[in-house]
């Protein structure tokens, strides 16, 4: 059903919903809350300093809005609650002003400073019932939580649900029905409602996922690949041109790829390696073998920065073998692009490296034999399949720098053969990691100065682009101002974040790579793909806001040469968890600890959505449900119980057709 069929959804709202991945009424009802607020009103006298509370109040003066700078405003007004008059301040909510009138009753969510008699609100609610459980959704600018609640509840009236759990498992686990689950997840009356509905919806999603994985594994084992004539001394020829020594894990992975490519069965291998472990050289070897067999290769990266770096590093090695390498991204000029596409079709290009632009319809290979996708979890299944479809049963190699526990990897990547690279290249020093509290920042500034004097460069990471006044977090813009002050504008500082245009990002990164920018202040856009060996220090503000795996990925941006590198985590909270990073540089160990600490998750705090492909399940926090879904889907396939189920029969037909 079309979104505009829902009462209240205008063209403007439809555009905002589209940006959240909501394109239909079905998408809307499956846009699940990521957490819940229990609205428990308290007396303002009972408010505890620096703790979020919810109070009922009456407006006693007209709200005033102050525009501080672009995209940043502050609204002030006075209220009375339990015979106490106090000031209210709320940031970036100027649009509420038209709804706030004298003597109006409202509910304030935020923190009360008794000394200043000021309530810093993070939200204002209207017509709220006490002890109600309120769902909270991820939003975009111009779309409020109340808007989404209203739209979703309208959509729920259509009862557009299909139950994907086979009946035998609904009965086995006594799941509530789909209709009830979808209604309760959006409108719970109790914590028990949330648990029952989320368990049922998570199992459904994970059963569907594992059914696909297990069926892929079944047909991959029978899938015929390309015939290649390779000889054992191919590796020796390749290694002769390398300016470094390969590690044991790299050699092992390369040997397995050699066997895969020589074998007539189609290769479906994942190379899972820690940051800086040398996965790219393993992929380069696969490209070399594929070239010797007379086939073309394609390498797809998630960002232009990463694609460019692959092009530079791989081309440097492959030119020794007269292998023609080309780069194709969204920034490639039309004239150059047309030439690349023509050469590719004629077979003059042996390796094409690029972003998702590789899967566009006008990209045609003469004889594609190998497809490589880097950071493969960042691409959808359809994107990966589209690239594979450009050749006649090409071999497939996936790369990922996201270390996860082996048992977990064998479950979610069950359809792939797995190679793990744990050892670091020779000569790399362990990165020294240390946690600092904010009031010790002077020590960090002195250490930064020492690195700058040595001619080295520095990353600084913040979780926000600009300070929104609601959370006590450092923003990219605020940090730029503070570092300029600390270094008296004598050090060139650049800022990088997701809101910049691609050309602006490229310019900043090029200036940083060329040493023109000495300190790069960034959000987590640098997590994957930025490789500037001269950078020897990374500082992460509000480190408690990041998962251990993300922090480890960020740390991997330094220590990329034989010079001692440092990672400083700035945080006043969650110190014990962060100490795992102080103690180890092993991404697989860190992922195990992260896995242990997260446990089964927290319904009232942690993000539930998991990877981008899941609506409610989280592969990390819902691991027990995943294992159960894995076993059940294997049984369902093995006993061929799907034969009378139209939905799963269609999945099989779809996957078989793609393969």
Q: Which of 514, 448, 433 is nearest to 483 (CA)?
A: 448
Q: Are 361 and 497 in a shared domain?
A: no
Q: For 175-213, b where at least 16 C-beta lie within 10 A, e where not — what string?
A: bbebeebbbbbbbbeeeebbebbbbbbbbbbbbbbbbbb
Q: Residue 417: inside a domain, yes or no?
A: no
Q: Are 350 and 489 in a shared domain?
A: no
Q: What is the pLDDT of residues 352-365, one digit of tens each?
A: 999 877 877 788 99
Q: Are 382 and 443 in a shared domain?
A: no
| Poorest-pLDDT segment among 253-257, 410-414, 628-632 | 410-414
Residue 495 pairs in a beta bridge with 521
Rounded Cα gap, residues 63 and 93, in angstroms: 11
Q: Which of 539, 658, 625 is nearest to 165 (CA)?
A: 625
Q: Are 57 and 102 in a shared domain?
A: yes
pTM of the predicted model as reported, rounded to 2 decimal places: 0.66
Contact between 602 and 182 (Cβ < 8 Å): no
Q: Residue 249: inside a domain, yes or no?
A: yes
Residue 566 is given by DSSP the state E
**Contacts of range 231-234, beta carbons closer than 8 Å, 24 or more positions apart:** 232/258, 234/258, 234/288, 234/289, 234/292
Q: Which is it for strands 519-522 and 105-113: parallel, antiparallel or unpaired? A: unpaired
Token pair 């609640």 in the structure block, residue: 149
Q: Are 503 and 579 in a shared domain?
A: yes
Q: Residue 515: inside a domain, yes or no?
A: yes
Residue 397 pairs in a beta bridge with 269, 372
Q: Residue 482: inside a domain, yes or no?
A: yes
- Please, what is the average pLDDT of the chain? 85
Q: Residue 421: inside a domain, yes or no?
A: no
Rounded Cα gap, residues 433 and 453, in angstroms: 20
CA angle 96, 100, 106 (to 5 degrees): 100
Q: For 442-476, b where at least 16 C-beta lie within 10 A, e where not — what string?
A: eebeebbeebbeeebbbbbbbbbbbbebbeeebbb
Residues 6+ apart with CB under 8 A from 655: 212, 215, 216, 219
Query: Above 90 in pLDDT, residue 289?
Result: yes
Q: Which is it for strands 132-136 and 35-39: parallel, antiparallel or unpaired? A: antiparallel
What's phi and psi for 257, nearest 5 deg?
-65, -40
Contact between 7 and 28 (Cβ < 8 Å): no
Q: What is the CATH number of the domain that holds 346?
A: 3.40.50.300
- Written as six digits, the tokens of 141 are 């600018």
| Poorest-pLDDT segment among 393-407, 434-448, 622-636 | 393-407
Rounded Cα gap, residues 351 and 290, in angstroms: 10
Type and span of the H or E element at 644: none
Residue 350 is given by DSSP the state S
Please report the DSSP string for 267-328 in residue order: PEEEEEE-TTS-HHHHHHHHHHHHHHTT-EEEEE-SSHHHHHHHHHHHHHHHGGGT--EEEE
Rounded Cα gap, residues 237 and 257, in angstroms: 16
Query: Above 50 in pLDDT, residue 128?
Result: yes
| Poorest-pLDDT segment among 69-73, 504-508, 589-593, 655-659 | 655-659
**Residue 143, CA distances (Å) to 14, 147, 156, 361 in order:** 10, 6, 19, 35
Contact between 113 and 49 (Cβ < 8 Å): yes
Contact between 448 and 458 (Cβ < 8 Å): yes
Q: Are 386 and 451 in a shared domain?
A: no
**Strand ranges, E, within 35-100:** 35-39, 53-59, 64-69, 72-81, 84-91
Using CB atoms within 10 A of its CB, is residue 527 exposed (0-12), middle (13-18) or buried (19+)?
buried
At 605 the pLDDT is: 33
At 179 the pLDDT is: 94
- Written as six digits, the tokens of 97 are 């002003």
Rounded Cα gap, residues 284 and 289, in angstroms: 9
Q: What is the pLDDT of residues 517-566, one digit of tens each?
A: 999 988 766 644 567 889 999 999 989 888 888 888 889 889 888 899 99
Q: Are 548 and 494 in a shared domain?
A: yes
Q: Which of 35-39, 287-291, 472-476 has the highest mean pLDDT?
A: 287-291
At 471 the pLDDT is: 46
Q: Are 395 and 438 in a shared domain?
A: no
Q: Are 443 and 348 in a shared domain?
A: no
Q: What is the CATH number of the domain that holds 90?
A: 2.40.50.140
Q: For 327-360, b where at least 16 C-beta lie within 10 A, e where not — what string?
A: bbbebbeeeebeebbeebeeeebbbbbbbbbbbe
Query: Above 80 in pLDDT, residue 657?
Result: no
Strand 368-374: give its sheet, edge to edge: 325-328, 351-354, 296-300, 368-374, 395-400, 268-273, 417-421
Q: What is the pLDDT of residues 581-613, one digit of tens each?
A: 999 988 888 877 876 665 433 333 333 333 336
Residues 6+ apart with CB under 8 A from 175: 165, 169, 181, 199, 200, 203
Rounded Cα gap, residues 74 and 526, in angstroms: 31
Q: Residue 141: inside a domain, yes or no?
A: no
Query: Above 90 in pLDDT, residue 412?
Result: no
At 400 the pLDDT is: 85
Last residue of a domain, one of 130, 149, 181: 130
Last residue of a domain, one of 70, 102, 130: 130
- Written as six digits, the tokens of 640 are 């061929």
Residue 45 is given by DSSP the state G
Query: Above 90 in pLDDT, residue 1?
Result: no
Last residue of a domain, one of 112, 130, 148: 130
Q: Residue 416: inside a domain, yes or no?
A: no
- Written as six digits, the tokens of 202 are 């998570």
Q: Residue 411: inside a domain, yes or no?
A: no
Rounded Cα gap, residues 235 and 133, in angstroms: 62
Q: Are 390 and 456 in a shared domain?
A: no
At 481 the pLDDT is: 86
Q: Which of 464, 487, 486, 488 is nearest to 476 (CA)?
A: 464
**Residue 607, CA distances (Å) to 34, 75, 147, 425, 595 in order:** 5, 29, 20, 35, 15
Q: Which of 611, 582, 253 is nearest to 408 (CA)?
A: 611
In the chain, the number of structural domains is: 3
Give the number of other Cβ atoms within 10 Å of residue 270's Cβ: 20
Q: What is the domain extent for residue 56?
A: 41-130
Q: Are 387 and 246 in a shared domain?
A: yes
Q: Are 299 and 436 in a shared domain?
A: no
């Amino acid at each position: 059903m079309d979104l505009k069929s829902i009462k209240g959804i205008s063209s403007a709202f439809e555009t905002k919903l589209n940006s959240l991945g909501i394109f239909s009424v079905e998408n809307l009802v499956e846009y699940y809350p990521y957490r819940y607020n229990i609205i428990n009103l308290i007396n303002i006298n009972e408010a505890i300093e620096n703790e979020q509370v919810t109070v009922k109040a009456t407006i006693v003066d007209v709200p005033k809005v102050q525009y501080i700078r672009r995209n940043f405003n502050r609204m002030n007004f006075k209220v009375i609650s339990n015979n106490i008059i106090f000031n209210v301040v709320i940031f970036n909510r100027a649009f509420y002003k038209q709804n706030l009138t004298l003597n109006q009753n409202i509910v304030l969510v935020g923190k009360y400073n008794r000394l200043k008699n000021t309530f810093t609100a993070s939200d204002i609610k209207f017509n709220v019932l006490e002890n109600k459980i309120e769902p909270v959704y991820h939003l975009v600018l111009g779309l409020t939580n109340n808007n989404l609640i209203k739209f979703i509840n309208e959509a729920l009236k259509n009862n557009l649900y299909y139950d994907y759990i086979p009946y035998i498992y609904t009965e086995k686990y006594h799941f509530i029905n789909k209709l009830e689950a979808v209604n309760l997840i959006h409108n719970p009356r109790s914590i028990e409602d949330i648990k029952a509905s989320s368990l049922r919806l998570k199992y459904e999603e994970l059963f569907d996922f594992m059914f696909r994985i297990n069926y892929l594994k079944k047909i991959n084992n029978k899938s015929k690949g390309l015939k290649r004539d390779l000889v054992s001394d191919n590796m020796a020829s390749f290694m002769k041109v390398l300016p470094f020594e390969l590690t044991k894990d790299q050699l092992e992975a390369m040997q397995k790829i050699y066997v895969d490519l020589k074998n007539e069965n189609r290769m479906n291998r994942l190379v899972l390696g820690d940051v800086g472990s040398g996965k790219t050289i393993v992929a380069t070897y696969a490209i070399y073998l594929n070239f010797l067999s007379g086939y073309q290769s394609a390498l797809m990266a998630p960002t232009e920065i990463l694609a460019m770096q692959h092009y530079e590093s791989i081309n440097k090695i492959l030119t020794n073998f007269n292998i023609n390498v080309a780069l194709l991204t969204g920034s490639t000029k039309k004239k150059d692009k047309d030439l690349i596409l023509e050469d590719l079709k004629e077979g003059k290009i042996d390796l094409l490296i690029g972003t998702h632009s590789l899967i566009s319809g006008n990209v045609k290979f003469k004889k594609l034999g190998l497809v490589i996708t880097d950071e493969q979890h960042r691409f959808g299944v359809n994107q990966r399949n589209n690239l594979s479809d450009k050749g006649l049963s090409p071999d497939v190699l996936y790369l990922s720098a996201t270390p996860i526990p082996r048992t977990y990897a064998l479950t979610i990547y069950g359809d792939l053969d797995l190679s793990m690279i744990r050892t670091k290249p020779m000569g790399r020093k362990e990165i020294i990691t240390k946690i600092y509290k904010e009031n010790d920042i002077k020590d960090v500034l002195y250490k930064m100065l020492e690195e700058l004097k040595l001619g080295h460069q520095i990353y600084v990471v913040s979780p926000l682009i600009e300070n929104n006044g609601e959370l006590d977090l450092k923003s990219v813009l605020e940090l730029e101002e503070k570092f300029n002050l600390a270094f008296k504008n004598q050090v060139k500082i650049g800022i990088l974040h997701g809101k910049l245009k691609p050309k602006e990002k490229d310019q900043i990164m090029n200036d940083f790579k060329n040493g023109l920018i000495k300190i790069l202040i960034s959000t987590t856009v640098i997590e994957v793909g930025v490789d500037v060996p001269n950078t020897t220090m990374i500082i992460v503000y509000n480190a408690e806001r990041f998962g251990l795996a993300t922090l480890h990925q960020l740390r991997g941006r330094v220590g990329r040469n034989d010079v001692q590198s440092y990672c400083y985590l700035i945080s006043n909270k969650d110190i014990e968890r962060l100490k795992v990073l102080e103690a180890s540089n092993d991404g697989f160990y860190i992922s195990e600890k992260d896995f242990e600490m997260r446990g089964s998750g927290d319904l009232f705090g942690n993000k539930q959505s998991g990877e981008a492909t899941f609506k409610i399940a989280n592969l990390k926090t819902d691991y027990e449900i995943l294992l159960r879904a894995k076993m059940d889907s294997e049984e369902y396939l093995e006993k061929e119980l799907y034969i009378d189920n139209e939905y799963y029969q269609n999945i099989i037909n779809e996957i078989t057709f793609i393969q």
